Amino acid sequence: MAEFNEITNATPNDADEVRENFNYLKCIYEEVGLNHIRQLKDRAIDYSSGNVGGYGEAYTDSTGRNDSVDNANTYAYFDTDKYKYNKDIEITDAFPSSSTGDNHCFITAKKKLTMTEIRFEVRTGFTGTILIKKNTVTVETIASASYSSNTYYTINIADVSLEAGDDFEVDISHTSGDFYFGQTDFVNDYFEKTSGEPHLSVGYTGSLDGYYKFKITEDQIITHTIPSGTFNGTVSSAILVPMIEDWEDGADIQFKYTNATEDSGWLSYSEASEFTAFTSEPTKLLVKLIPKATSPTAGYPSIKGVYYNAK
């Protein structure tokens, strides 16, 4: 990556030339980076050490062509040949539509996620106990209580981290009233549903409009392990070129470098960025997928790979 000296007492023409040169350099890096990813999608390639040529990854599988994706610390969702923004869960064992006594609902995580709250609706004076479990281990018990009719309630739980495939169980023991725990849709940082089956009902024959909501706290990050020797120990500028598959206005991608003690801070993928110089080489690259703020499309943004360089 070229290094730029600060220009002082510049005329407007000087500034325009600098911007033009910078934009030209950025375009070159984008084309080099995209071609790099295209090659990786097809085959493994050789790399130079010591800040020459940069490094990259193509998501040919969940760990990537170069096996640099750190799955244990990756929260974005892998889908065939790309990572996408999609905090995905599924109901695997729903409540019956009408029952009394002990009942349960299993939710299985399709990806790593962390939940901090549950919201639900009760009707006609629900009484009973709500037991929340992760893989059969109790994480929260809501003691027997009487709730008002047609009211939303929030259960704040300690951060419950789920790995892909983990079960999250809501176990209900109730003696009266109605409890609703419905299906799910993707809405911003939540999974939520405002009507439909399934639900628990005691002596209730009317239509139930229910609601439940999981708050998900993990950023959608793809963590990459940088091979030792790729960059030197004094990097202070960086660029990232993602191969974008799904995009919409308002979405964003950010990245940063870290090692055991240092952090570049989040940087924009759309420009070459500077940060406080490291004192030892970076060991991790984190890429964050950010959806648009209002009514994002599920799975957007998504990327098929990244090219990155640091000087």
Structural domain tally of the chain? Answer: 2
Please tell me which residue, 262 or 213, carries the higher pLDDT value.
262
Q: Is the pLDDT of residue 71 over 80?
A: yes
pLDDT tens-digit series, residues 73-129: 888 888 899 999 876 666 555 554 444 445 566 667 767 777 777 666 655 566 667
Q: Is the pLDDT of residue 29 over 90?
A: no
Rg, the chain, Cα only: 25
User: Which domain, by its residues, includes 189?
Assistant: 89-216
* Statement to judge: residues 182 and 119 lie in one domain: yes
pLDDT band at 219 (very low <50, low <70, confident <90, very high): confident
Which pLDDT value is given to residue 239? 92
* Statement to judge: residues 44 and 121 lie in one domain: no
Dist. CA 263–CA 123, nearest whole Å = 50
* Statement to judge: residues 211 and 291 lie in one domain: no
Residue position matching structure tokens 């439909």: 196
Under 8 Å between Cβ of 199 and 179: yes
Task: Give which of 153, 157, 104, 107 is closest to 126, Cα–Cα.
Answer: 153
In the predicted model, what is the mean pLDDT of residues 168-181?
64
In the predicted model, what is the mean pLDDT of residues 31-49?
92
Q: Is 119 inside a domain boundary?
A: yes
Dist. CA 192–CA 21, nearest whole Å = 48
Task: Write down the pTM of the prediction.
Answer: 0.71
Q: Please say which residue of 188, 216, 244 terminates a domain.
A: 216
Q: Is 298 inside a domain boundary?
A: yes
pLDDT band at 298 (very low <50, low <70, confident <90, very high): confident
Q: Please say which residue of 190, 216, 242 terminates a domain.
A: 216
Task: Give which of 142, 117, 149 is closest to 128, Cα–Cα.
Answer: 142
Residue 233 in 3-state DSSP? coil
Q: Please say which residue of 195, 216, 237 terminates a domain.
A: 216
* Statement to judge: residues 207 and 235 lie in one domain: no
Q: What's the N-to-C CA distance of the chain in angstroms?
A: 6
Dist. CA 309–CA 30, nearest whole Å = 11
pLDDT tens-digit series, residues 190-207: 444 444 444 444 444 433
* Statement to judge: residues 94 and 186 lie in one domain: yes
